[in-house]
Structure 1
Amino acid sequence: MRPEGERTPTGRATGGTAPARFRERFLQGEPVEWGVRASILDSWHRSRSLGLSPDRSDLPFRDDFDPDGPIVRAAAPVLARLQSRFAGSEMNISLADANGTVLMRRFGTASLARSLPAVQRAPGFVFSEQVAGTNGIGLALVERQLIRVHGAEHFAERSQASACRALPLRDPLSGRIEGVLCFGYPRSAEDPALSTVIRRAADAIERRLLGQSSARERALLRAYRDAVGEAGAGHGVGVEDLALELHPRDRAVVMERAAELISRGQRAAVEVPLPGGRRVTLVARPVTGASGVEGVAIEAVLPGLPPREALAIPQQVDVLAGLSGRPALVSAAPPDGQDPGALAAEYLSVAPSAGRLPDAAPGPMAATGKGVRVEVPGSETDHHSGHPVPARGLVLVGEPLVGKYALAARRRLELLSEASTRIGTTLDVRVTARELAETAVPRLADFVTIDLPEAVLRGEEAADPRSDLRRTVVHGIYDERSFTPVGKRVDFGPATPQARCLTSGQAVLEPSLEAAAGWLAQDPELTEQLLSHVHSLIAVPLLARGVVQGIASFYRARDPAPFDDDDRSLAQELAARAALCIDNARRFTRERSMVLTLQRELLPHGLPDQDAVEVAHRYLPAESDVGGDWYDVIPLSGTRIGLFVGDVVGHGMLSAATMGSLRTAARSFAELDFPPDEVLTHLDNVVVRLDREHPQAGGAGIIGATCLYAIYDPTSQRCTMARAAHPPPALVTPDGTVSFPDLPEGPPLGLGGLPFETAEFDLPEGSQLVLYTDGLIEDRNRDVDVVLDQLRGVLAHQERTPEETCQAVLDTVAPAHPCDDIALLVARAHALDPRRIAAWDLPADPALVSEIRASALRQLSDWDLDEAAFAVELLLSELVTNAVRHGAGPIRVRLLHDRTLICEVSDTSNTAPHLRRAASTDEGGRGLFLVAQLAQSWGTRYTPEGKVIWAECALDSA
């Protein structure tokens, strides 16, 4: 590190400060990525790309600037007060125009003016960034906001010992930058309070600019009045005061068209239709004030008024160039102390008429709460010709440019109002970004591109918004192929407007791309082909809740006018609204993704191995939110299969979690071999208990569910089913007939204490049972009966496999944009071959146990299952002996040869055996322990006649 004052090999003083060191590195071509403010570093890059030399001491000089222009007249007294305030200091106060040409200079001391070089003391020198490099005036014009340049942050060597603060001056009406106010001072005299001083001074200058505009409008009004006076006094009426003749809505239409006529600046006459078949004719008349100010007066011609119409004349009316930024009424605000009656008289005197008033003086005037009420004597007929005389009055008077700004301001408000209803209609990130682009084109921009980080598109928060930007939207009035296509990655260089807006968090305006330098080569968008179309750019960060969601780039091509500060403010407002909607959509996407992940994790991940039914299933989440729809396939004892489908009320995380709890409970109750009605009763209790555990506002629960449970027995080809407020299934017989069984409909789960009923019907081999949730058939835009007819038509194709049936149902019957989840389960029934079933009935006689063993061994030999003979012999001996000793006859023994070998022993007793640990001194109690060791699984199920004790033996390990 060099000591302060050390000079570099190039002869430049470093100043011993960090900016000086970084500036030296930059001038030597070394990379500078930190330690320098982004705005300064960007300006250095632009200065170098323009080929400027930091050693250059001369600047362009212009002697054709206007020393008495509006900005000079407005600023002169303000600069005089500043000079007095900083008397005795080394303050250098300068005023420049919008091109960077210095118009005025004021100094704290006269000696300072004599000691400075001409370029720093005389008006006429140009300090735009394009010729002077990084400096206060030039950077304020580029950044279009208050800036500070300190010491070595200047690009030129001559300014290293100074500091400055500069602020653009704007026309209060148009928002256009008219000049720059700059405070220059020694680097050692830095004072943060100067920011407040320069802002107040700029406000004072802008107020004086506004006053000048008001004076111009008053001059136009006087010129119009003089012209009317020469033509003769008439019966004049202001349109804004025709309270009885025009509805407020009609007056707004008239005023809008009047402002449009002023903006055109030409002589014209247009007819404005009003509701109810009425019409108003607006006449535009050019007016030139005494000082040469050119404007337009708009008169309205209405149908004749009733005689002696009372007119309300406002006492206080904004002038056309008032702070409202829109064309105002005819009358200017009356000076303090002016008689309101005189104002009303002046108002009437400037309103021309198609005829002449009688010589009678105006009627009496009386002050009212809102103004002055003037009764005008007159008649519906002209006193000379006897023909009806229409009412004719002055509506607006103003300069065309002011009218243009007024129209632009109103249209901006209309666009913002439209954006509030058009952007954010869905909770989809991509759709919301598209809505922003469609709102801006073509009323603000001709092209809009929107780039979002991949993380935001997934619903996550981007750690670095500059990384992994993806083109999300390209929308415009021309061919979009000139831009990076949607879905591709976009990388912006550090000096591009997009990168700068991400760094600063503010919109970046590039009014002229042809004049831009330095960053063009880093922008992948601005190819030579694209530059032939577009000419102006605004890059806006999509900032919501302090987090950048992405970038919106607005391009202008068809409109020859470049973007200005008003456009930048509008673009930033639109982007801010869209960013909030995008963030809401992102958060929703993240939450929906979490709920959907939870939902899918809680659904079955695969189907169990079984031969009772061939099953296919689908789950389709709702577009807006995820609900609690579920399904399950549960193997039961005796080769039976249980089929569940259910729907938890509501959407979101609670519904998904409730679904998981309900599905777990349903599987547990089913595996206990409860019949369908009892399973639903137990589930009803579970839902009631869950509802109590999640109290809501006011103590009212919200958890509820519907469910359908079916048990199919392939040995008998019978199906038993019960439902709790769930849609009935569709039954497809082998011949293709489709029916919806009339099952008893139980109450929804969660009401508590209400009974459920079962229904039993045949399900021949090859039949299909289709279970679904209400999201498949219920939709606010469709009739349920029509949908059921469609479903019946799709299911009639019995040749389809369950997988094909599932897909066909979703393709044909499911709504295109489901507002509720859809769970679909299709099961094709298979029958167990009767040759694989062996059954014996016997009385409760212990002597018959050996016969049953012998018969079972012969059957196993017929099935080629001799390897399972030992285990089956022991299992049957124990189970039949228990039935004889502890049950009640008759007794039935059944062997089922499926994927496993199942031994069943049934009796008419309702007592169930329990496995226990026998003590070493006990003589019995070890039989069920042997069953549990020999069998893969065992259990008890109850039937209307008694119970069945079953044991399942795996064939591969028998």
Structure 2
Amino acid sequence: MLGGGVLMRVDESGRVIEWSPQAQAMFGWSPEEAVGRSVAFLVHETAADAVRRRVGFDGMGSLLVRPVLTGSSVDWEVRGAGHAVSDQDLAILQALFAQSPVGLHVLDDQLRIVRMNTATRALRGAPVGRLVGQVFTEAYRLADPQEEETVARQVLESGEPSLNRLVRGMRVYGDERRSIYSVSYIRLENADGDVLGLVASAVDVTDRERALQRLSVLDEVRKKVGERLDVIAACEDLVDAVVPAFSGIAVVEVIEDVVRGEAPPLVPVDRDVPLRRAAFRGRVTAYPVGDVRHLPYGTPFSRVLSDLRPRLLPIDEDTLWLAADPPRADAIKRSGVHSLIVAPLALRGEALGVVSFYRHDLEDPFEEEDLALAADVCAHAALCIDNARRFARERTIAATVQRRLLPQAPTGSTTVDFCHLHLPGPEGGGAWFDVITLAGARTALIVGDVAGQGMAAATTMGQLRTVIYSLAALDLEPDELLARLNDTAVRLAAERAALPTGDPLHREPLIAGCLIAVCDPVDLTITVVRAGLPEPVVVLPDGSSSTLCVPAGPLLASTGNAPFPATTADLPAGSLVAISTAGLAEKVLAPSAALRSVLDDGADRPLGELCDTIAYALKEGGWPSEKLLLLARTRTLPEERILTCRLPDGPEAAPFARRTVRRRLATWNVEEETAFTTELIVSELVGNAVRYGSPPLTLRLIHDAMLTCEVSDTAPSGPHMRHARTVDETGRGLFIVATLATHWGTRFQTEGKTVWAQQSTGTT
């Protein structure tokens, strides 16, 4: 066993340079014999001699080895510590510093390098002679030397090791790339617990970390790109995902037809095909985002669109193709770009655009592995852009269909002014309105909303509108009209349910709401019936407002035979009626709505101004679904334009009616030919009522945009037009009316019916 004194001192090569008496007593070698020899030789010979003499030898005991800095070299001081050290321990130490691929650095308590292994140059391959004696963080070009020094000193002070820290080196011009190391710090102590320094180990993990980084970039692209079904948004998400993780600058240019939803062109792409700069991230841009132009011929960008092959290109002052695109060359120069990858946005052999990745300044140049990553990134982005393109095309078609199905230029009634506010959703929808002129100067205000988006909602909306127009021509009461509309919706829903299960429309139930309000300027009433939509609001001429309490019928197609009760209320001339779809009611129609005051204060304001005010106040934008608001203001019908009289119950009713009509038409300055036709129509209507109806009989003549003749009686049966034979003496009355009038029909009331006929007149 050895004491704790200094036994020997050994230089870097393992040669003994100092030999103590304790060592001589232990090993049997005098200082003259030991100095200059290899310490491994001395120990080996001593052990062999002990074997020959058959005596025990426990080696040098336990040793403490401490590096000692002498000038620019390191000596090793060996002390006895009272414990045995085997040949295996010495062999391990020798192997670690001579053969281990892990970079080992022994640092003193001032963080100076006193020894490092010679088998590897883990940190930038610097020579040993230049590094020994330097502070560890100053000896190498680290990206953040101050942080490393802070960590190392914390290990010195606390003794808590710091393991597997990722440390980046600084790239300098001329180097291929910056290296990444996994560095660990462990404190060295002697037997008494004195701090001797640190051991810093370093492993080059550049390839591993770059592979992980590439996987991370691809994962980020797959996570971000494609969330929004918009071509430009997908391009913006792409550059956000790759800058700065993959490149310092990224540019996405998409063929203009693709942005508009059209099919991409054939490859090779013609040089006259324009591209839109859809997204950019970086320092200096050659062209503004949104700029549309042709790609210059003779550049890698145009070449990529010719063969869909990605390219990795170094850039310097002698790069030839820069001359073909001076603005881009100037931006590249000002940004300090030195490496470029150009990759196509392509799918199924069709070109959608091109993506340019640039690295500049101290960023590492692109490698072949980066080219493969760029191709994978662009393949995913191309799929997302193509999905967005197809969606944009479908949305455009659906919006076009909806616009064509909505009233193009609604012909307003002379007794109702109207204006609508339409807030389209992101994917179109099925909201619609109609203003239909009915007989007797009445006007039907209709608002409907089909749930869903796209073509299915638009086409269903068109079908329901067509049904409403057909039913309105029959002059049905609002509740009966809505019931018949519901019958049609039930049949349409059954057709959807009968579709094959693979059809997307099969899984989308038909849900629709509708509200019908009929304004009568003669009786000054409004009759409302609704299926699911919110109750309308009425603002009277004096400024007071109220919500019309109308029982809520079920949504269309939800049931086959549910009633739709109608409500009739007084409606003075000059009143404002507001009807909206569900999504807008809580903002405008509800009593507590923020914009209800706009309606309450709008009794005498123009309807267009009211719609604009509401639109300006709705600042949110980006509606998840379509919204629609219809405003209508009733106008008075002058009393002198209306004739109402009670008719005799017998045969004298027809002559009386003709005389009365003749006098009133003369007062209205109706042309003689029109007046004669009107007398004939009135005579036939009254004669039909006398013969087949029940008293009392009433005649009403309305001179508005059309000249309307109405004859009412209390019989519940309706007239039927038939074609009389030559020998028949009756049956020609309604046939004559249908021939002479522009429109005719029958309207049933609670008691009796009204048969009416309309004809145009050349006077007002």
TM-score band by shorter chain is 0.7 to 0.9
Alpha carbons of structure 1 residues 472 and 761: separation in structure 2 relative to 1, 3 Å: farther
Alpha carbons of structure 1 residues 785 and 479: separation in structure 2 relative to 1, 3 Å: farther
Question: What is the rounded CA distance, in whole Å, between the counterparts of 1:842 and 1:283 in structure 2?
Answer: 107
Q: Give the aligned residue type for 2:247.
A: A
Shift of 1:920: 0.8
Name the counterpart of 2:475. 673
Question: What is the rounded CA distance, in whole Å, between the counterparts of 2:459 and 2:519 in structure 1?
Answer: 29
1:665-699 deviation line (CA, Å, top 9, x unaligned)? 12212221111211121121111111111126498
Question: What is the rounded CA distance, in whole Å, between the counterparts of 1:674 and 1:716 in structure 2?
Answer: 17
**Partner SS state of residue 526, structure 1:** helix
Which residue, out of 848, 872, 875, partners 2:653? 848
Query: Within the alignment, does 1:936 sit opposite 2:742 as a pair?
Result: yes
The share of aligned pairs that are identical, in percent, is 35
**Partner SS state of residue 694, structure 1:** helix
**Partner SS state of residue 955, structure 1:** coil
Name the counterpart of 1:378. none
Select between 816-825 and 725-734 the one with higher mean Cα deviation: 725-734
Question: What is the rounded CA distance, in whole Å, between the counterparts of 1:223 and 1:850 in structure 2?
Answer: 123
Q: How does 1:222-301 map to 2 (within 5 A)?
A: 224=104, 268-269=148-149, 271=151, 281-282=162-163, 298-301=183-186
Q: Give the aligned residue type for 1:299.
A: S
Any unmatched runs of 5+ in structure 1?
Answer: 1-214, 233-257, 287-293, 302-352, 357-382
Question: What is the rounded CA distance, in whole Å, between the counterparts of 1:700 and 1:901 in structure 2?
Answer: 50
Shift of 1:809: 2.1
Query: Within the alignment, does 1:504 sit opposite 2:385 as a pair?
Result: no
1:13-72 deviation line (CA, Å, top 9, x unaligned)? xxxxxxxxxxxxxxxxxxxxxxxxxxxxxxxxxxxxxxxxxxxxxxxxxxxxxxxxxxxx
Name the counterpart of 2:576. 768
Question: What is the rounded CA distance, in whole Å, between the counterparts of 1:693 and 1:431 in structure 2?
Answer: 37
Query: Within the alignment, does 1:413 sit opposite 2:220 as a pair?
Result: no
Name the counterpart of 1:924. 730
Alpha carbons of structure 1 residues 557 and 901: separation in structure 2 relative to 1, 3 Å: same
Q: How does 1:441-456 map to 2 (within 5 A)?
A: 441-456=243-258
Which residue, out of 344, 369, 375, partners 1:566? 369
Alpha carbons of structure 1 residues 447 and 737: separation in structure 2 relative to 1, 3 Å: farther
Name the counterpart of 2:292. 489
**Partner SS state of residue 743, structure 1:** coil
Q: Give the aligned residue type for 1:935.
A: A
Question: What is the rounded CA distance, in whole Å, between the counterparts of 1:630 and 1:548 in structure 2?
Answer: 39
Q: Give the aligned residue type for 1:836.
A: R
Q: Give the aligned residue type for 2:577.
A: L
Question: What is the rounded CA distance, in whole Å, between the counterparts of 2:97 and 2:245 in structure 1?
Answer: 29
Question: What is the rounded CA distance, in whole Å, between the counterparts of 2:380 and 2:98 in structure 1?
Answer: 39
**Partner SS state of residue 633, structure 2:** strand
**Partner SS state of residue 720, structure 1:** strand
Question: What is the rounded CA distance, in whole Å, between the counterparts of 1:474 and 1:576 in structure 2?
Answer: 17
Shift of 1:507: 1.5
Question: What is the rounded CA distance, in whole Å, between the counterparts of 2:466 and 2:342 in structure 1?
Answer: 53
Which residue, out of 795, 808, 825, partners 2:613? 808
Name the counterpart of 1:735. 542
Alpha carbons of structure 1 residues 296 and 731: separation in structure 2 relative to 1, 3 Å: closer
Q: How does 1:23-102 map to 2 (within 5 A)?
A: none
Shift of 1:645: 0.7
Query: Within the alignment, does 1:725 sit opposite 2:550 as a pair?
Result: no
Q: How does 1:183-202 map to 2 (within 5 A)?
A: none
Alpha carbons of structure 1 residues 529 and 479: separation in structure 2 relative to 1, 3 Å: closer
Which residue, out of 739, 749, 753, partners 1:947? 753
**Partner SS state of residue 918, structure 1:** coil
Query: Within the alignment, does 1:873 sit opposite 2:754 as a pair?
Result: no
Shift of 1:572: 2.6
Alpha carbons of structure 1 residues 511 and 722: separation in structure 2 relative to 1, 3 Å: same
Question: What is the rounded CA distance, in whole Å, between the counterparts of 1:523 and 1:221 in structure 2?
Answer: 49
Shift of 1:222: 7.0
Which residue, out of 696, 710, 734, partners 2:517? 710
Query: Within the alignment, does 1:688 sit opposite 2:463 as a pair?
Result: no
Question: What is the rounded CA distance, in whole Å, between the counterparts of 2:552 and 2:492 in structure 1?
Answer: 23
Select between 534-543 and 913-922 the one with higher mean Cα deviation: 534-543
Q: Find the structure with the greater CA-based Rg.
A: 2
Which residue, out of 595, 612, 626, partners 1:821? 626
Query: Within the alignment, does 1:554 sit opposite 2:357 as a pair?
Result: yes
Name the counterpart of 2:52. none
Question: What is the rounded CA distance, in whole Å, between the counterparts of 1:774 and 1:218 in structure 2?
Answer: 81
Shift of 1:802: 1.9
Matched length: 617
Query: Within the alignment, does 1:790 sit opposite 2:592 as a pair?
Result: no
1:867-924 deviation line (CA, Å, top 9, x unaligned)? 2321111111111111111100000001101012111100001111111111111111
Contact kept? 1:470, 1:489, Cα under 8 Å: yes
Question: What is the rounded CA distance, in whole Å, between the counterparts of 1:748 and 1:759 in structure 2?
Answer: 17
Q: Give the aligned residue type for 1:649.
A: A
**Partner SS state of residue 652, structure 2:** helix
Question: What is the rounded CA distance, in whole Å, between the counterparts of 1:354 and 1:783 in structure 2?
Answer: 77
Contact kept? 1:636, 1:673, Cα under 8 Å: yes
Alpha carbons of structure 1 residues 397 and 921: separation in structure 2 relative to 1, 3 Å: same
Alpha carbons of structure 1 residues 474 and 687: separation in structure 2 relative to 1, 3 Å: closer
Query: Within the alignment, does 1:886 sit opposite 2:689 as a pair?
Result: no
Any unmatched runs of 5+ in structure 2?
Answer: 1-94, 109-113, 116-136, 168-178
Q: Give the aligned residue type for 1:809.
A: I
Alpha carbons of structure 1 residues 784 and 440: separation in structure 2 relative to 1, 3 Å: farther
Contact kept? 1:484, 1:490, Cα under 8 Å: no
**Partner SS state of residue 823, structure 1:** strand
Q: Give the aligned residue type for 1:917.
A: H
Name the counterpart of 2:464. 662
Question: What is the rounded CA distance, in whole Å, between the counterparts of 2:611 and 2:646 in structure 1?
Answer: 43
**Partner SS state of residue 573, structure 1:** helix
Q: How does 1:45-444 map to 2 (within 5 A)?
A: 219-221=99-101, 224=104, 268-269=148-149, 271=151, 281-282=162-163, 298-301=183-186, 354-355=188-189, 384=192, 397-398=202-203, 402-444=204-246
Query: Within the alignment, does 1:751 sit opposite 2:550 as a pair?
Result: no
Question: What is the rounded CA distance, in whole Å, between the counterparts of 1:543 and 1:870 in structure 2?
Answer: 75
Question: What is the rounded CA distance, in whole Å, between the counterparts of 2:106 and 2:731 in structure 1?
Answer: 125
Query: Within the alignment, does 1:857 sit opposite 2:665 as a pair?
Result: no
Name the counterpart of 2:134. none
Question: What is the rounded CA distance, in whole Å, between the counterparts of 1:216 and 1:572 in structure 2?
Answer: 43
Alpha carbons of structure 1 residues 513 and 602: separation in structure 2 relative to 1, 3 Å: farther
**Partner SS state of residue 621, structure 2:** coil
Contact kept? 1:719, 1:763, Cα under 8 Å: yes
Question: What is the rounded CA distance, in whole Å, between the counterparts of 2:180 and 2:716 in structure 1?
Answer: 105
Contact kept? 1:791, 1:813, Cα under 8 Å: no
Query: Within the alignment, does 1:913 sit opposite 2:719 as a pair?
Result: yes
Contact kept? 1:880, 1:905, Cα under 8 Å: yes
Alpha carbons of structure 1 residues 487 and 795: separation in structure 2 relative to 1, 3 Å: farther
Alpha carbons of structure 1 residues 815 and 265: separation in structure 2 relative to 1, 3 Å: closer
Q: Give the aligned residue type for 2:652.
A: A
Select between 551-560 and 758-767 the one with higher mean Cα deviation: 551-560
Select between 928-937 and 581-590 the one with higher mean Cα deviation: 928-937
Name the counterpart of 1:899. 705
Shift of 1:300: 4.6
CA RMSD after TM alignment: 3.8
Question: What is the rounded CA distance, in whole Å, between the counterparts of 1:530 and 1:800 in structure 2?
Answer: 58
Which residue, out of 499, 520, 527, partners 2:322? 520
**Partner SS state of residue 452, structure 1:** strand
**Partner SS state of residue 278, structure 2:** strand
Contact kept? 2:539, 2:599, Cα under 8 Å: no
1:619-661 deviation line (CA, Å, top 9, x unaligned)? 33211x2221111111111111111111112222222111111
**Partner SS state of residue 956, structure 1:** coil
**Partner SS state of residue 292, structure 2:** coil
With the length of structure 2 as denominator, give the TM-score of the two structures. Answer: 0.73
**Partner SS state of residue 762, structure 2:** helix
Question: What is the rounded CA distance, in whole Å, between the counterparts of 1:285 and 1:540 in structure 2?
Answer: 31
